[in-house]
Amino acid sequence: MRTAFFKALLEQAELDERIFLVVGDLGFGVVEPFASRYPRRFVNVGVAEQNMSGVAAGLALSGKTVFTYSIGNFPTLRCLEQIRNDICYHRANVKIVTVGGGFSYGALGMSHHATEDLAIMRALPEMVVVAPGDPVEAARATAAVVAHPGPVYLRLGRAGEPTVHQGPIEFSLGKAVTVRSGSDLTLISTGAMLPVAVEVAGELSKRVRVLSMHTIKPLDVDAVLRAARETGAIFTLEEHSITGGLGGAVAEVLAESGDLRVPFKRIGLPPIFSSHVGTQEYLRARYGMGVADIVKTIRAALRREASDSYR
């Protein structure tokens, strides 16, 4: 996703001289092409993320479209006050880009585990929250957030994520992408869990609907309600705490839908700090986020629902 993002950003910067990139002293292998081609539109503020957000807000309020970029929690939680007060309050045209959502940097420990970011960014007024599911979505998301006139949080994986979409897709902020049609049940995924969702669907049934909910805020309410009416159950998948992220957003929609009832379960990370360190795959497995574990969780939930319906 990271490579797809920077390729798309370069393409957008060639079309729009207002685009600036502000970084926190990292990622030189991927940011160097932008810095070399557009040196007057590139700023390395050093390890100073609060200053990075303030500089970005100032540039945006002078008419620029500004991308900030860093690892995991650093461009979000470390400078949350500046994002809230300087960027969101002023509706500044700043795009906050995180590389390493979830356990992408799992080997670096809890400080690099980005597992609460979606919930926190989603709570900020004026903020749009986007987590593309594969490199195709990452490229389309980059163009879409450039066109959006206001604050956006763009959450990327790290590198090497598989490509799910094998052809062109329709991509709009706030509109889910239907990856698989089906009527048995619906899997709604966000971010790098999309390839996992597709594998899980293949293990369960040919009639499992898979939605890539690349935009958490604004959520595609219509897609959620259609899934509730047309399929037998809904499960959300996210490499994020189950508190306040995709699962929380979908639960809010279902809870406020009136008399619409459908079996529903959030599948994600427990709302705790992980004491484990290791690869992304290792940490996913520790918390039941591998394909086999998710299939087992879904089947158990469906069995409980079927048993309860006969009582």
Per residue in 179-222, pLDDT (tens digit) is 999 999 999 999 999 999 999 999 998 899 999 999 999 999 99
2-156: CATH number = 3.40.50.970
Query: Where along the chain do the CATH 3.40.50.970 domains lie?
Result: 2-156
Q: Which residues pair with 234 in a beta bridge?
A: 186, 264
Please tell me the predicted confidence (pLDDT) of residue 311.
47
Does the N-terminal peptide bond of residue 218 adopt cis geometry, omega within 30 degrees of 0? Answer: yes
Share of the chain above pLDDT 70, in %: 98
Amino acid found at 14:
E
Q: What's the mean pLDDT in 253-257?
A: 95
Please tell me the predicted confidence (pLDDT) of residue 205.
87
| Beta-sheet pairing, 94-99 with 128-130 | unpaired
Whether 25 shows a pLDDT value over 90: the answer reads no
Please tell me the predicted confidence (pLDDT) of residue 29.
84
177-309: CATH number = 3.40.50.920
- The span from the CA of 223 to the CA of 210, in Å, is 11
- The span from the CA of 239 to the CA of 101, in Å, is 8
Whether 104 shows a pLDDT value over 50: the answer reads yes
User: Using N-to-C axis directions, what is the helix angle for 291-309 and 194-204, rounded to 10°?
Assistant: 50
In this prediction the pTM is: 0.96
Whether 292 shows a pLDDT value over 70: the answer reads yes
For the chain, what is the mean pLDDT? 95
Higher pLDDT, 138 or 305: 138
Beta strands in the chain (DSSP E): 19-23, 42-44, 65-71, 94-99, 128-130, 152-156, 177-180, 185-189, 208-212, 215-217, 234-241, 264-269
Query: Where along the chain do the CATH 3.40.50.920 domains lie?
Result: 177-309
Q: What's the mean pLDDT in 70-84?
A: 96
- The span from the CA of 221 to the CA of 163, in Å, is 26
Q: What's the mean pLDDT in 225-230?
A: 97
